[in-house]
């Protein structure tokens, strides 16, 4: 049978072209996204996608895995070296499945778990009632301290965490956030877990690249289990991963397969190996440091525009904006959509005790990992903050949006993650970041 050439699938070809053009001509400020290198893209698109490999290196349920075993073993060794971990499991398809596997390895259904509440900066898989995690385990939520004028509030409330731990006697305490702009120190968590005999899991999905780059403290060796995703600050392919000590290796591995998943995505595991290699280069530490400097510059610029920032600023890759003092009628949803039309991509986000629903929200979450990869620095962040202020002062004004869109196009032309299009409209360049 004659196979159709990929280029004959005109609909998908067209959409792929449209998406790369969108990524190269609009500003990407979603804190959980990044621009992968051509080497990561190549591995993700490789023939490894053809292979079934249920099991682990040396213990597979299918033949023909001699090469795949080497790929997965190399990926595991690189992950262990990068994070100084005793054991790595790289098969979780996503952060959500990594977290679920970690719970399966550490606790029993019905056990009590302390984790951050969703509107305070937590994640659905930290016990939301709409997630299997909240339906399987008894989650009790902790949050952040109240907001203060001087910006010293809205930090993880460790006193509340300790009080809850003493009252609830949880089997597990979870650290980790999706919308929180401060460093998370794993040490006090460990101390509280030890005080009540709980296990401790650190979900490092967001700061994984900052930890690998040495700008945030590592929870490896402090937490019993560390989960993370490879596609956010770490700048690898979309996927999840788990690190633990040798004592938990068997439980973690069997929770992932056969507990939760079937065949691993070996093409993605190969791309994870590439990302670990890239993250182990000295330039990646510079990248991680620049991500934080850029976030600080973006935060300063937004504050100058009159926005209130949660916790008064940032120490990581995120800036969280409370829109209410800027414009009490402007919702996160309206702001996101208005910025989108001006060529600035970000996501609405609930703020602590948000009076609006998660679908509407009173906040925005902005992040710098992607545009830092594209080569932008602090000067460009100040520029972006000005553009955001301009759009959100007149969110329904088409003329303002068109003017900003033109400025965005110009900025992206100077900092395109995949170069400039050739005569046929294809982008084939590499991200400009030195470690790209």
Catalytic residue among 26, 133, 136, 229: 229
DSSP 8-class letter at 410: H
Q: How far is the CB of 101 from ligand DSN (least distance, A)?
A: 15
Residue 357 contacts by C-beta under 8 Å, 6 or more apart in sequence?
none
Q: How far is the CB of 123 from ligand DSN (least distance, A)?
A: 6
Strands 344-345 and 347-349: unpaired
- Our CB check for ligand DSN shows the closer of 336 and 416 to be 336
Burial environment of residue 58 by CB neighbours within 10 A (0 to 12, 13 to 18, 19 or more): exposed
Residue 329 contacts by C-beta under 8 Å, 6 or more apart in sequence?
none
CA distance 168 to 173: 11
Record the tokens describing residue 181, joined without a space.
Answer: 């702009």
Catalytic residue among 60, 76, 238, 401: 238
52 in catalytic set: yes
Q: How far is the CB of 222 from ligand DSN (least distance, A)?
A: 23
Catalytic residue among 232, 272, 308, 365: 232
Record the tokens describing residue 113, joined without a space.
Answer: 């778990």
Query: For the residues of 30-79, what is the DSSP string, one character each?
Result: -TT-----HHHHHHHTSGGGG----EETTEESSS--HHHHHHHHHHHHHH
CA distance 248 to 271: 25
Q: How far is the CB of 32 from ligand DSN (least distance, A)?
A: 3
CA distance 34 to 68: 26
Catalytic residue among 17, 25, 54, 168: 54
Helical spans, DSSP H, in 137-181: 158-168
125 in catalytic set: no
- Our CB check for ligand DSN shows the closer of 112 and 350 to be 350
Catalytic residue among 17, 21, 25, 52: 52
Burial environment of residue 421 by CB neighbours within 10 A (0 to 12, 13 to 18, 19 or more): middle
Q: Does 227 bind ligand DSN (CB under 6 A)?
A: no
371 in catalytic set: no
Q: How far is the CB of 105 from ligand DSN (least distance, A)?
A: 20
Query: Which residues pair with residue 119 across a beta bridge?
Result: none
Closest CA to 240 of 377, 90, 107: 90
Q: Does 350 bind ligand DSN (CB under 6 A)?
A: no
- Our CB check for ligand DSN shows the closer of 351 and 411 to be 351
# chain residues binding ligand DSN, by CB under 6 A: 4
361 in catalytic set: no
Q: What does the radius of gyration of the chain's CA atoms come to, in whole angstroms?
A: 22
150 in catalytic set: no
Phi, psi torsion values for 59, nearest 5 degrees: -140, 70
372 in catalytic set: no
Q: Does 236 bind ligand DSN (CB under 6 A)?
A: no
Q: Does 95 bind ligand DSN (CB under 6 A)?
A: yes
Which three-class secondary structure state does DSSP give residue 13? helix
- Which residues, 119 to 138, sit near ligand DSN by CB under 6 A? 123
Q: Does 178 bind ligand DSN (CB under 6 A)?
A: yes
Contact between 50 and 65 (Cβ < 8 Å): no
- Our CB check for ligand DSN shows the closer of 244 and 366 to be 366
Q: How far is the CB of 392 from ligand DSN (least distance, A)?
A: 21
Burial environment of residue 317 by CB neighbours within 10 A (0 to 12, 13 to 18, 19 or more): buried
Q: How far is the CB of 156 from ligand DSN (least distance, A)?
A: 17
- Our CB check for ligand DSN shows the closer of 95 and 312 to be 95
Catalytic residue among 203, 371, 380, 383: 203
- Our CB check for ligand DSN shows the closer of 33 and 72 to be 33
Q: How far is the CB of 22 from ligand DSN (least distance, A)?
A: 18
Q: State which residue has the least CB distance to ligand DSN.
A: 32
DSSP 8-class letter at 363: E
Site string for ligand DSN, 29-68 (x = CB under 6 A): ---x------------------------------------
Which three-class secondary structure state does DSSP give residue 285? helix
- Our CB check for ligand DSN shows the closer of 238 and 401 to be 238
- Our CB check for ligand DSN shows the closer of 233 and 331 to be 233
Q: Of all helices (H) and strands (E), which one includes residue 249?
A: helix 246-254
Q: Enumerate binding residues for ligand DSN (CB under 6 A).
A: 32, 95, 123, 178
- What are the residue numbers of the active site? 52, 54, 203, 229, 232, 238
């Amino acid at each position: 049978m004659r196979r159709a050439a990929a280029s004959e699938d005109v609909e998908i070809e067209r959409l792929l072209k449209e998406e790369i053009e969108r990524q190269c001509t609009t500003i990407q400020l979603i804190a959980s996204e990044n621009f992968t290198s051509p080497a990561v893209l190549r591995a993700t698109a490789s023939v490894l996608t053809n292979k079934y490999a249920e099991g682990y290196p040396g213990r597979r349920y299918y033949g023909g895995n001699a090469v795949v075993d080497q790929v997965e073993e190399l990926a595991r060794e690189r992950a262990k070296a990068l994070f100084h971990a005793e054991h790595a499991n790289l098969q979780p398809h996503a952060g959500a499945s990594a977290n679920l596997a970690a719970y399966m390895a550490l606790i029993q259904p019905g056990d009590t778990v302390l984790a951050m509440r969703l509107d305070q900066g937590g994640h659905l898989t930290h016990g939301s009632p709409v997630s299997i995690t909240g339906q399987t385990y008894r989650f009790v939520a902790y949050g952040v301290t109240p907001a203060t004028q001087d910006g010293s509030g809205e930090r993880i409330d460790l006193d509340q965490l300790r009080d809850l731990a003493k009252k609830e006697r949880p089997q597990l305490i979870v650290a980790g956030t999706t919308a929180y702009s401060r460093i998370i120190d794993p040490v006090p968590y460990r101390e509280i877990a030890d005080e009540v005999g709980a296990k401790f899991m650190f979900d490092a999905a967001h700061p994984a690249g900052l930890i690998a780059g040495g700008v945030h403290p590592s929870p490896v060796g402090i937490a019993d289990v560390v989960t993370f995703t490879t596609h956010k600050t770490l700048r690898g392919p979309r996927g999840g991963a788990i690190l633990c000590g040798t004592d938990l290796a068997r439980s973690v591995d069997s929770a992932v397969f056969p507990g939760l998943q079937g065949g691993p995505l070996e093409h993605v595991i190969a791309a994870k190996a590439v990302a670990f290699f890239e993250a182990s280069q000295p330039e990646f530490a510079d990248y991680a440091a620049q991500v934080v400097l850029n976030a600080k510059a973006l935060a300063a610029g937004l504050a100058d525009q009159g926005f209130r920032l949660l916790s008064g600023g940032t120490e990581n890759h995120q800036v969280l904006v409370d829109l209410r003092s800027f414009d009490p009628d402007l919702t996160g949803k309206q702001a996101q959509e208005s910025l989108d039309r001006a060529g600035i991509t970000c996501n609405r986000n609930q703020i602590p005790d948000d009076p609006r629903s998660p679908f509407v929200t009173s906040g925005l979450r902005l992040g710098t990992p992607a545009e830092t990869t594209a080569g932008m620095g602090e000067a460009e962040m100040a520029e972006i903050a000005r553009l955001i202020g301009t759009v959100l002062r007149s969110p329904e004004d088409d003329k303002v949006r068109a003017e900003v869109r033109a400025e965005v196009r110009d900025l992206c032309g100077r900092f395109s993650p995949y170069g400039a299009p050739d005569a046929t409209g294809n982008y084939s360049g590499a991200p400009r970041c030195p470690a790209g």
